[in-house]
Amino acid sequence: MFIKEVVGRAGGLPLVLKVWSRHFQQYGREQWPSILETLKGIPHGDVQKQLQMSYDSLTPRLKKLFLDIACFFDGMEKDMVVKVLEDEDLRFFPNNEIQYLVDKSLVEITLDNRLWMHHAIREMGREIVRQENEDEPGQRTRLLDDRDVENVLTECSGATLGAFKKMSNLRLIHFNCSQNNFSHEEMAHLCFKKLKYMCWSQFSFKSLDNIEMCNVVVLQISTSKLETLWEGMKSLKKLRILDVSYSDSLTRTGSFSGLENLEKLYLRNCRNLKELDNSVGDLQKLAILDLSSSIPLERIPWEMISKLASLRELVLGDLDRQLEPDEVNDPLLYSLKKVSITTLKLSGCNISRTSGGVVSLAWLKHLRLWNTSFSSCPDSLLQLHELNTIELWKCYSIRSIPSLPGNITSITAQDCSSLVNLPCNITELKSLTFLYLSRCHKLGAEDPQYFMKITGLTNLSQLTIHDCCVSHVPSEIGNLVSLKDLNLSYNSFSSLPDSLSSLSQLIYLNIDSCQQLRLLPLLPSNLTNILACCFSSLDVMSYLNKVCKESPFGNRFMIQLPWKEEVPDWCSYQNRGDVLSFVAPARLDNNIRGIILCANISEIFSSRIIIPKIYNRTKNASHRFKTYTSHHLTTHWWTRCMCVMCYPLDDTVLMVEPGDNLTVVVELSQGIGT
């Protein structure tokens, strides 16, 4: 009875229930009734107030962290956020506090270690900031709205720079603005002693000399008008990340001697940079150095680079040169031999097939080659026993990939139009989990059995063979028992083998624009996403009719089809526009097991997201279904298409009974049906 009352107060919203359940778990059961009484004071349907109860229970320090994430750091790398916010003087190390917010279901950590907030929770945090002072934005702790920022910066003193000079307590700046062309006299002197993070695109200052920011941790000032970073030396002892990429006016850097804690330095596409100061060798904590499409290779102080004891990733681009066959003759290889480089990304260079010097990079784990002119990778790659990832992008002349070490886990070859052969030992690469082949049109010309060889890689979880002239899919594909993501789009095969149904782990299938494909076989039961757009011949509707009639609604699935003027006849309820209201039909077993949505997406569809929502007006409850982004939709997301989405319904999602009044909303769709 107690649980039902809590569910009723939450309006059946899964997000609210998730946050509330974590809140209840903080207290003993004897306190739960009093918490429920507090919940009863929250108006029905006021999601923000329902969520804010969890925020109100936080300590002042946790509230500050929560608002920082909601206003600035949502979507950013967790490690970077931790570095920005930690404060040794205040003994604040936010790792534990972030985990506490995760435990409260207020924040999530994505698979790539980024902070993520549900949009409703993020908006709740931002509304709390707006409510600090509705009429005077300048009195708030954080400024978010562009108009508020502009008004505060101009009304404060009539000039943007004057306002900045008064903001001595600024901690975080995130600007995308070029309308601030201050004169040299005007900009002396800005004092931001508490500034920890500054991201300022189109930064208009010519140097950083007149900005005092001794506590800054991250400086991201790309596409700037900087001509030099500073004259002489500048002491920024807490700076960890410096990014001045795409700064075309930058000609010199200045000394790095005052940046002893710098970990990442990005000088990408600074095309007029004449030289890199020799003091770069003083950066003993530098782990990542990106000089791609920037300083000429011969002007890089390689002797200083060889002193970077912590260097793990080096990015060089537009080299337009031949790497010598050994490290004695090549300063790049000679320098890298002295550091424990693990990631090397090269663009616009030529590596000889016999470049034995590459084997000297004993710690190399990730090798990316982009837009290179070589016809073969060095045979010595086989001797790089730590190598687990190789990426080849736009290597138009490469004909073959040599044998690779047995612990390789990922191979990418995209736009390698001359590629004929995969590694000779491809069948032995049992650790391989990711294989991405795209627009390699000659693949298989000398070895038609290459696809057959791939089917022996039983640990493969992601396989893409996109636009590679595949005319036959072997039945042995059923051996890929670990496969979760299969992309066979833009190929010429006319059928798929029945063995596809044995891929019990398969979740995502892309057969977009396989124009010769006529019929679909029985597909795996766990498959949830099917992309089958841009077809002229595939009879997918007969398959879909069968699925719609026989599906036990055990899993959600989405299939994308060519756009049609009308939704299918089997949709029981139809309407033009993005809103559809209807009454749930009666069933003999009195059980509504799921809902199938069919939406025609127009050619002006540009948000890349479908957001289906269902409202049960009878039970005063609603549910926002999992959205589909451009990855789940189409590679050509701007074209028209029809999306059919199947969602199971139960009491953990949204209870629907015969006779309930329902409204379905599919945002940004042209016509819907169910």
Burial class (CB in 10 A: 0-12, 13-18, 19+), 135: exposed
The 3-state DSSP class for residue 576 equals strand
Read off the pLDDT band of 630 (50, 70, 90). very low
pLDDT tens for each residue of 67-99:
999 999 999 999 999 999 998 777 888 999 999
- Start-to-end CA distance of the chain, whole Å, equals 34
Q: 188 CB contacts (<8 Å, ≥6 apart)? A: 210
pTM of the complete model beyond 0.85: no
pLDDT of res. 653:
65
The Cβ-side half-sphere exposure at 349, using a 13 Å CA radius, reads: 25
Q: What is each CA distance from 192 to 143, 504, 508, 556, in whole angstroms?
A: 17, 57, 49, 51
Which amino acid is it at 208?
L
What percentage of the chain has pLDDT greater than the value 70?
79
Say which range, 87-91, 235-239, 289-293, 364-368, has the weakest mean pLDDT: 87-91
| Backbone φ, ψ for residue 333 (5° rounding) | -65, -35
The H or E element spanning position 116 is strand 115-116
pLDDT of res. 290:
94
454 against 526, higher pLDDT? 454
Is residue 625 within 8 Å of 612, Cβ to Cβ? yes
The 3-state DSSP class for residue 336 equals helix
Read off the pLDDT band of 221 (50, 70, 90). very high
- Across residues 465-489, what is the average pLDDT? 94
The 3-state DSSP class for residue 614 equals strand
12 against 247, higher pLDDT? 247
What percentage of the chain has pLDDT greater than the value 90?
33
Average pLDDT, the chain: 80
pLDDT of 107 strictly over 80: yes
pLDDT of 608 strictly over 70: no
pLDDT of 607 strictly over 60: no
672 against 231, higher pLDDT? 231
pLDDT of 338 strictly over 50: yes
Please state, as a whole number, how many other Cβ atoms lie within 10 Å of the Cβ of residue 30. Answer: 7
Q: 444 CB contacts (<8 Å, ≥6 apart)? A: 420, 450, 451, 468, 469, 470
- Across residues 355-372, what is the average pLDDT? 80
pLDDT of res. 604:
43
Is residue 360 within 8 Å of 344, Cβ to Cβ? no
Which token pair is 509? 């299938």
- Across residues 580-606, what is the average pLDDT? 72
Could you write out the three-class secondary structure of 577-596? CCEEEEECCCCCCCCCCEEE
